[in-house]
Every structure is written in C-alpha cells, then in structure tokens.
Structure 1
Amino acid sequence: MRSFKDFCTKKTLIGLGLGQFLSLLITSTGFASSELAKRGINAPTSQSFINYVLLAIVYGSIVLYRRKALKAKWYFYIPLGLVDVEANYLVVKAYQYTSLTSVMLLDCWTIPCVMLLTWIFLKTKYRFRKIGGVVVCVAGLVMVIFSDVHAGDRAGGSSPLKGDALVIAGATLYAVTNVSEEFLVKNADRVELMAMLGSFGAIISAIQISIIERKELRSIRWTAEAAIPFAGFSAAMFFFYSLVPVLLQISGSTMLNLSLLTSDMWSVVIRVVAYHEKVDWLYYLAFAAVIIGLITYSVGEREEGEDRRRTNIDEEAEHDKRPYKECPPEKRVLGIAGSS
C-alpha cells in the first residue's frame, strides 16, 4: 500500500505522463526522418536548424520582453549548443553505416553516462530501487533487440564499426547535454536556457550546414511530399525541446532518458494501429517491462525525497536542542531551546 501511495502522487504521475509524451514526439521525428530518407533527403543538421531558430525566436522574445539580466553567463551556453548540435548530427549520421538494432542498443549508453555525470557533478544519489528500475528498463529494451533479430533485422550496414562509434559518441554527448540542461534548469531559468540554446544552436548549425550540407540542400526538390515531413520534424523537435526542461526539473535527466526508451515501442503501436502490421510478441512484453521499470524508478525517487525531508527535520530538531546560551536571541524569547 505504501508503494502504491508513493506512486500515486502528482509529481510522479506528471513525470511519467510527460515522459511518454516526449517519447511519442521522438517517435514522430523518427517517422518524419524515415519519410525524408525515402525521398533521398539526407540533411540531419538542416532538419535541426529550423528547431533552433524557432527556439531562438519564441523564447528569445520572452527574454527580451523581460529585460532582465541572464542568470547564467552567456558564454556557458556556447559549448552546450555545440554539444547538442553534434549529438543530433552523430546519431542521425550513424544510421548510414550501421543497423537499427545496433543504434537502439548502443544508444542506451546515454543512461549510465547520465547517472555517472549526475552523481559526480549534481551529487545525485541512486539507491537500490532506482538502480533496479534502470535495470528493468534496459532489460525491456534488450527484448526489443532480440525481437528485431528474431524478425530478421540482421543488416549490418556499410561500416558497422564506424556507425557504432558514431552512436556511442552521440550518446555520450546527449548525456552531457541532458545533465547540463538539468543543472541550468534548476539553477538558472528554463526560458533563458531555451532562448540561448536556440540562438547558439542556430548559429552553429548554420555554419555546419554551409560547410557540410550546402550541396545536398541545393539538390533537393522541395515538393509538398518533402516539405510536410520536414515541417513535421521541426515542429515535433520544437515541442520536445520546450518540454524537456520541465521533465528535467520534475524528475531529472535519468528519468528523461529512461522514458525515451519507449520511443521505439510507440512506433510499433503506431504501425499496428495505423498500418495493421504484425509484430513479435516480445515487443508487448518489452513495453510492459519498461513501464514497470519507470514506475519502480519513480517510486524510488519519491522515497529518497521523503528520506531527505525526514533528515532535514531531524537535523533541525537536534539544532534546537542546543544549550540556552548557544541559541539565537529570538529563540530564547520564544522558549524554543530546550535547556534543563
């Protein structure tokens, strides 16, 4: 009963629901990217560029309207924008060299990286229940991998080692970005973060496009069939980036990355409902495992919060038991100090 009450809290339910909505947004970007790839459009940096521009315009306008000084130094956002742009580029680029199965498996590298970075820099503590939730989530994703292999997805790609290296590098950069955003959201301002990330991300993307993708963009024929998924990708990414800081503030970067594990499973649901495709039964078992892992992690987070509050109360109680002469004057008057 206690675990059930811990789960049924407003913060936990919002965190789980928002995490799955973000996972659906990622799924939609995947469908949009696949449609663009079918039409021979291979411009990952250009796809992200529109998102950064939207972030800069929308949130930058709010920052200018406030007319307040930035809570964090502006130059802190330059490396964050660079890391975010390159993380997006590396993971999308990896699909050209390795298989979907390899990308899915190696992208899990973000989770231990996030846990390590938050433990070192944000002093986040992970107890047994939270670690158990992470293990269950990853186990669910491994079931998806086995399902893909069972279904015959054995394509290794043109250069598997190169593709795998790109995924690992991109996953590591994603971890750096997520942890940095969590720190800035909790210590600076969410709107400021989005405005500065959008501004510097747009500048860095524009430079990279001019160097790498200029010829590709010139060869694209912008028909309605190509423009619609391109616009859909940009819109989904904008909402994703806008809502990520909210989840980071509620549950942290580890919960974010665990929630995104279900993105591939949501794509299966869409294929089954919209296209009436048949999938391996392991997908359903994997989806259930990831959801159970997310709930376990959330309950563990709730328990840690209660322990911290009890510790603070106990410390305050011990503090108020000091001898009368050691207590502040206001406490002497109120008779708070317990002198014998």
Structure 2
Amino acid sequence: MSFLHSPSKANPGTTASTAGESFDHDLDTKKAAALNEITTPVDTVDSISGAESAFAGRPAEKMTWSSSLKNWLSFVKNKHFWIILIHGQILSFCITGTNIFSSYLAKSGNSIPAFQSLFVYVILNIVFTSYTLYKIGFKNWAWLCIKDGWKFFLLAFVDVQGNYFVVKGYAYTNLLSAQILGMWSIPVVLFLSFFFLKVRYKWTQLLGVVVCLGGLALVIASDLLTHKGYAAPNVGKGDAFIIIGATCYGFSNTFEEFFVSQRPMYEVIGQLGFWATFINGVQTAIFERNSMKNAEWSGAVGGYIAGFTVLMLIIYTTTPILFRMSSAAFYNMSILTANFWGLIIGIRVFGYYVYWLYPIGFTLSLVGIIIYYLLPGTLEREINKPWVKDGEEFDGVGLHKHSHARAQDAENQASSFA
C-alpha cells in the first residue's frame, strides 16, 4: 500500500519504524472518523433539541398536547368504531320496537311474556341448530351437547328469565322505576367481566359509563317533569322483577360474549335456541296456562306477536357480532338510547311531544360512548379479548385473529397516556 513506501535515501530501520507509526496513526485517524460519523448526528439532534427547549418553550408543549389530543381521538377515524356505534343504535331501535309491541299486547289484555318469546327461541333453534348439524354432523353435535351442554343451558336459562321478568315487571311497576332499575345490567356486566373475564377498565371507560347513565337520567327527569310516571298496580313487586331481569340480562350478555369470541356464532345461537325452547316451553306451560286460556286472540294480537318476534330475531342474530367487535358493556351502554328512539316513534304513533331534556340526554349518551373509547388502545383491547389465550384465536364474522403481543402493545400505548 502507498503509505508503507518511504524515500530511498532513508535508513532502513528508521524507514520501518516510520512506516509502522504512520500505519498506526492512519488507523487511529480512521477510527476517530468512524466514531465521529456515528456520534455527530446524535450530538446534532441533542443540540437542536436543546435549542428548541431553550427558545421554543411553550410552543413545544402545545405541539405535544396537540399530538396527544390527536392520539386520543384517533379512534374517530377508525371505521370499526362507526360500525359498532351505528350497530348499537340499530339494536337500541329494535329494543324500542319490542317494548312497543309488548305494551300493545299488555293493553289488549294479553300479558304473556313467556309465550311471546317462545316463537323467537323456536325459530332460532330450527334455523341455527339445523345449520350446526349440517356443519359438524350429528355425532359432533351430540358430543357438544354432552360436553358443553350445561354451559349453554345456563346461558339459555338466564336469557329466558331476563326476558320473562323484565316484561313481567313492566306490568306491575311504573315506567320511571323500570327505566332506572333497568340500568342495573351495566354494573352487573362490568362486575362479571372484571372478576371472571379478567377485563381491566381504564378511567375513561368508567367515566363514559357514568356519562351514559347521566344521559338516561336526563331522559328520566324529562318524564318526571312532564308527568309521565304512569300508574302502577304493585311497584314493589314490579321493581323486584325488573332487578331480577336486569341481573339475568347482565349474566346473559357476559356469557354470550365469552362464548362467541371462541366458538362459531351459529353454534352458540343454535345451542341458546335449543335449550331456551325447552326452558321457555316448560315455563309457559306452568305459569301462563290460564293466561293463554283467557287471552283475547285477534289479527291485531297476532300482528303484535309477529312484530315482536321479527325484531327479537334481528337482535339475537346480530348482537353476537357486536359482542365480538366490542363488548357486552358497550352493548348495554348503546341501548340506553332506546327511550329516545321510543319518543321519536311515540311522536308519530302516540302523539308525544319532545321535551327539551330528551335531545340533551340522547346526545349525552352518545358523548359517553365516545369518552368510553377516548384513551388510545381501548378499541383494540376490546377486540383482543383478554380471556382468549394464544393459540385459541378464532376467525369469524366480526372477529379477527389477534396476537396478545399486539394487545399488549395497545395496553402499553394506552398506559403512556393514562
């Protein structure tokens, strides 16, 4: 190499020594240059950051806050959020319809809560159990009933009782009490999800629930101010029925969310319909035999039952998708707006008028839903069910395979903003 060559007149020993020193010096120079190439950008960044901190001051803080706000509201740009928001309101509207048809049946002298739900369970059983048999065969279906039948029996039992006691409660208590006590299903879902499904809620989620309940409180206050309390034959009995029914709904929603996150939806709905048909059938035969004899049957009554059945089928076949895409807690928050939709229908059907607290209450419920997902990573955590272990992920409608590593990343991201 050229830097080892020395003048021809030099002493050979000196030449060798000089060449060696030259080599070492060059090597050190190259090392230093290499280190400078690595460290210089970092130093430059540090100096720039220092300069910004020194001269920018408050603008730098504003830029950080703006960035944080964008992260907090990032879920609004996610179409997944808008899908579950609209889906929740469609279900809320359907529940409003079932309440109206139940009211018509009660006014016509036909208080038959178990019987009017029987057709729903029978149809679910026929459609989804048949499809399950087609998909997995009779042997596997029979083994499913033997192995896990007791779990689905419990799901069906609490679901049947929820429908029965809530409808029964409306016949004894007044509307205001029913609305207030119906909110009890939300804390039941939160309690069960926290202790049994290991769901951990962030402060924004709990605040969102409180705001939603505040929205319903305004609706109830509106009814109170406009004297819509309505007479009640036995408030104590009716209130007890509503509390029992709301508790059963909380159990039913939580159980169903657990099942549909790990099993095919047709299998879960089929098992629910299968066991509920027997439970509800026996209950109808025992408790509503006399009511059935004294019922006043007409074309109008048949239409009310048909309308109730259609809306309930929509609820039962699409709610599991919402459970997969969000949670049982979100579902119960969404249906708090049912009273507002009831007013909108009532304006046309019953001649109701809109009191100014109603729109505010409805808006507050929607704001509560937005607050529920405000903290970054909340939407992702609801999709990534914490009780689904690695290797147990299941693909299905409204449910995507996920990794717990990605869920943990979302958790860490959310913690940084908490």
Give the TM-score of the pair, scaled to structure 1: 0.87
Determine the C-alpha separation between the residues in 1 that align with 2:296 and 2:230.
Answer: 30
Determine the C-alpha separation between the residues in 1 that align with 2:411 and 2:156.
Answer: 42
Determine the C-alpha separation between the residues in 1 that align with 2:369 and 2:376.
Answer: 11
1:314–1:292 CA distance, 2 compared to 1 (3 A): closer
| Structure 1, unaligned runs of 5 or more | 316-340
1:230-259 per-residue CA deviation (whole Å, 9 max, x = no partner) reads 100011101101111111111010001001
Does 2:307 correspond to 1:210?
Answer: no
Q: 1:67 aligns to what? A: 136
Matched residues, number = 315
Amino acid aligned to 1:31: I
8 Å Cα contact 2:162/2:246 also seen in 1: yes
Does 2:126 correspond to 1:57?
Answer: yes
1:164-219 per-residue CA deviation (whole Å, 9 max, x = no partner) reads 11111111111111110011011222111100110111111110111111121122
Determine the C-alpha separation between the residues in 1 that align with 2:375 and 2:350.
Answer: 38
8 Å Cα contact 1:130/1:301 also seen in 2: no
The match for 1:18 among 87, 96, 101 is 87
The match for 1:182 among 257, 264, 268 is 257
1:110–1:301 CA distance, 2 compared to 1 (3 A): farther
1:281-319 per-residue CA deviation (whole Å, 9 max, x = no partner) reads 11110000001111221334744637973744999xxxx
- Map 1:320-339 to 2 at 5 A: none
Q: 2:167 aligns to what? A: 92
Q: 1:329 aligns to what? A: none
Q: 1:219 aligns to what? A: 294
Identity among equivalent positions (%) equals 34
Amino acid aligned to 1:20: Q
8 Å Cα contact 2:376/2:410 also seen in 1: no
Determine the C-alpha separation between the residues in 2 that align with 1:314 and 1:60.
Answer: 38
Q: Tell me how far 1:228 sits from its aligned partner.
A: 0.6
| Larger CA deviation: 217-226 vs 53-62 | 217-226
- Map 1:227-306 to 2 at 5 A: 227-273=302-348, 276-300=351-375, 302-303=377-378, 305=380
8 Å Cα contact 1:60/1:195 also seen in 2: yes
Determine the C-alpha separation between the residues in 1 that align with 2:376 and 2:91.
Answer: 20
1:308–1:125 CA distance, 2 compared to 1 (3 A): farther
Q: 1:332 aligns to what? A: none
Determine the C-alpha separation between the residues in 1 that align with 2:295 and 2:242.
Answer: 26
Q: 1:164 aligns to what? A: 239
1:8–1:273 CA distance, 2 compared to 1 (3 A): farther
Q: Tell me how far 1:276 sits from its aligned partner.
A: 5.0
For the pair shown, which has the larger CA radius of gyration, 1 or 2?
A: 2
8 Å Cα contact 2:119/2:309 also seen in 1: yes
Q: 1:319 aligns to what? A: none
Does 2:79 correspond to 1:4?
Answer: no
Amino acid aligned to 1:168: I
Determine the C-alpha separation between the residues in 1 that align with 2:111 and 2:411.
Answer: 59
Amino acid aligned to 1:83: V
- Map 1:76-91 to 2 at 5 A: 76-91=151-166
Determine the C-alpha separation between the residues in 2 that align with 1:314 and 1:261.
Answer: 28
| Larger CA deviation: 183-192 vs 51-60 | 183-192
Determine the C-alpha separation between the residues in 2 that align with 1:79 and 1:85.
Answer: 10
| Larger CA deviation: 223-232 vs 157-166 | 157-166
Q: 1:309 aligns to what? A: 406
Determine the C-alpha separation between the residues in 1 that align with 2:410 and 2:189.
Answer: 30
8 Å Cα contact 2:91/2:319 also seen in 1: yes
8 Å Cα contact 1:87/1:173 also seen in 2: yes
Q: CA RMSD in A?
A: 2.1
Amino acid aligned to 1:142: A
Q: Greater relative contact order: 1 or 2 (C-alpha under 8 angstroms, separation 6 or more)?
A: 1
| Larger CA deviation: 142-151 vs 273-282 | 273-282
The match for 1:31 among 72, 76, 100 is 100
1:278–1:118 CA distance, 2 compared to 1 (3 A): same
Determine the C-alpha separation between the residues in 1 that align with 2:405 and 2:119.
Answer: 42
Amino acid aligned to 1:164: D
8 Å Cα contact 1:94/1:164 also seen in 2: yes
SS in 1 for 2:184: helix
Q: 1:104 aligns to what? A: 179
Amino acid aligned to 1:38: K
